[in-house]
Amino acid sequence: MAELVAAGLTNREIATTLHLSPRTVEHHVSGALRKLGVPSRQGLAAQWSGLAAAQTRNRAARGHNTPRTGVNWVSVTPGTRMGGRVPNT
């Protein structure tokens, strides 16, 4: 979600992209701001770019050739919920 904020998307655009409600996105963005101690979305974007750059450097130092785009704070992928598997029904 922080990656989408850093890309300049609004809460409504993030909600549409991730199939969440705008209120849920607002909750997660405000939690990220609080956790990082930054007062604005611009501050979150700056922190995010620093974290992503550090992760890329660390992966390169460990011999990984393929840089990743960023750190996942909340995994929102099909079939998962908050990083855990959702049982098939």
Torsion, Cα of 65, 53, 73, 1 (10° steps)? -110
pLDDT in tens, the chain (89 residues): 888 888 889 999 999 999 999 999 999 999 988 988 999 998 888 887 777 677 777 777 777 655 555 544 454 444 544 444 444 54
pLDDT digits 0-9 by tens, 52-71 = 677 777 777 777 655 555 54
Token digits for 28? Answer: 């997660």
Strand segments, DSSP code E, in the chain are 80-81, 84-85
7: left (phi over 0), alpha (psi -120 to 50) or beta: alpha
- Full-model pTM: 0.57
The residue with tokens 């130092």 is 61
